[in-house]
Amino acid sequence: MSAAGRGLEEKEFVNVFSYLEEFPKLFSMILDLGRGFVLEGKARFSVAIDSVSKILRHASLQAVAGLISSLRSHSQICSIFWLIYSDLHEPRASTALEYISTMVASLEPMIKSANGHKSPENLFWLEQNLYKGKFHVCMKRRNGRVKVLCEDLHVDQDGVKFVVVSSENAIVNQSHVPNVQFNLNLSENERVDRARVVLPFEHQGNGETIQIYDG
C-alpha cells in the first residue's frame, strides 16, 4: 500500500508500506501529507482511499477498520471516504466497514443473471449491465434515522445520468403497519385528539415555527 500527495513545490512523495506493523507509520504519513496541503494551519482536510480491497489482501480486517476509525476520529480530518469491491470479500468485511460509515453508496447490476451459464440470453443481460445499474445511498443521521435513496444509473457518451426510481419511493412511503386481524390505524378523530395533546416536556415556543435539527 502507498501514501502519495503533491506539495506546494509540485514534488511527489511516495511511501510504500508492506507490513501490518507499519500501519502507525502510514497513519502518520497521511497526517503529514494532509497538513502539507493546508499549510500547517487550522484548516481540515479529507482523506481518500482508492481501494480498501487492495489493503485487505495484505492486512486483517481488524487492522484496516482500526486505521479508518483512527483517521475519521482525528480532529484535523473532516471526512474520509473509501472504495471497496464487496464481491471480492466475505460479507463480514462489508458489514464491518458499513458499521463505521455514516454514508454507504453501492452499485448493483440492473439485472442479475439467473445462473452462471454463458447462454445468449445471459450475455445479452451482461451487456446491458455494462452501462446500466442501480445506485443505492444509505445515509445515517445523528438522531439515529437512516435515509435511503434509490436511483437508476445510465452511462452514455454524454456522461453519467441518474433517474429517481418512483417504484422504490412508493414502497418506502407505504404504511409499515402489519397485516393483523385487529385495526392498528388511528381514525381521523383520534389523529386530531393526538395532535392536540401537549406533552409536559414539549417546548411551546412563541408561536413561531419550531425547526428541529435532523442531522
**Within this chain, do residues 167 and 127 fall inside the same structural domain, yes or no?**
yes
Pair 55, 1: CB distance under 8 Å: yes
**Within this chain, do residues 45 and 138 fall inside the same structural domain, yes or no?**
no
pLDDT at 178: 52
| Mean pLDDT value of segment 167-190 | 56
| Mean pLDDT value of segment 18-27 | 72
**Within this chain, do residues 135 and 166 fall inside the same structural domain, yes or no?**
yes
**134-176 pLDDT, tens per residue?**
888 999 887 778 888 888 888 888 888 888 875 444 344 444 4
| Enclosing domain of residue 64 | 1-101
Please give the tally of structural domains in the chain: 2
**Within this chain, do residues 139 and 215 fall inside the same structural domain, yes or no?**
yes
**Could you give the count of Cα atoms lying within 13 Å of 104 in the half-sphere of its Cβ?**
17
pLDDT of residue 25 exceeding 60: yes
**41-88 pLDDT, tens per residue?**
678 888 988 889 988 988 889 989 999 999 988 888 988 989 999 989
**Within this chain, do residues 115 and 199 fall inside the same structural domain, yes or no?**
yes
Please identify, among 86, 101, 116, the residue that sits at the C-terminal boundary of a domain: 101
Please identify, among 80, 101, 122, the residue that sits at the C-terminal boundary of a domain: 101
**Within this chain, do residues 77 and 106 fall inside the same structural domain, yes or no?**
no
- Residue whose cell numbers read 392498528: 184
**Within this chain, do residues 80 and 117 fall inside the same structural domain, yes or no?**
no
